[in-house]
Amino acid sequence: MRIVLILLVLALTACGGGQAVAPVGTYKKPIKTSTKAVTAPAIYTVKRGDTLFSISWRYGYDHKSLAKINDIKSPYTIYVGQKLRFKSTKSAVTKKKYTKLTTSTKKVTTTTSPSNKRLTWRWPTSGKILSTYSKSAAGRKGIDI
């Protein structure tokens, strides 16, 4: 029994002995980011490998609004050589005219009659209450039945 215990202790100490340090590197060169703003052309010709999403991302547009301007339906399929417009050629959207609602000055009085039903309390289960709620005891957030 002692030999098994000694072997077990030796095995456990052998497993936990080393302290391996993770290699950490520092980078001195900052990552260069492009700060050039790319302006969208009036008309863009689709090239091989382009997607509607990539084109709209490149020029700062939402792909759904670009599809709407060019009357492209879902699944937003575009073809090589297709011309895409970035500005809508449709006339300005006219605002809808709303009529002002007139409010009535009549006072409406309603009376509520008391309900004739008698309400009774029912326990969700039957049984003897073994313990009640306790703020101090952990895990006792209700009653034990």
CA distance 37 to 124: 66
CA distance 90 to 70: 11
Task: State which H helix or E strand residue 5 sits in.
Answer: helix 2-15
Q: According to the model, what pLDDT value does residue 79 have?
A: 93
Please compute the mean of the pLDDT values over residues 31-35 and round it to a whole number: 63
The domains of the chain are located at: 36-88
DSSP single-letter state for residue 22: P
CATH code of the domain occupying 36-88: 3.10.350.10
Q: According to the model, what pLDDT value does residue 87 have?
A: 82
Q: According to the model, what pLDDT value does residue 134 have?
A: 76
Q: According to the model, what pLDDT value does residue 92 have?
A: 47
On the question of pLDDT at 53 being above 80, the answer is yes
List Cα–Cα distances, 47 to 16, 53, 75, 142, in angstroms: 59, 13, 18, 67
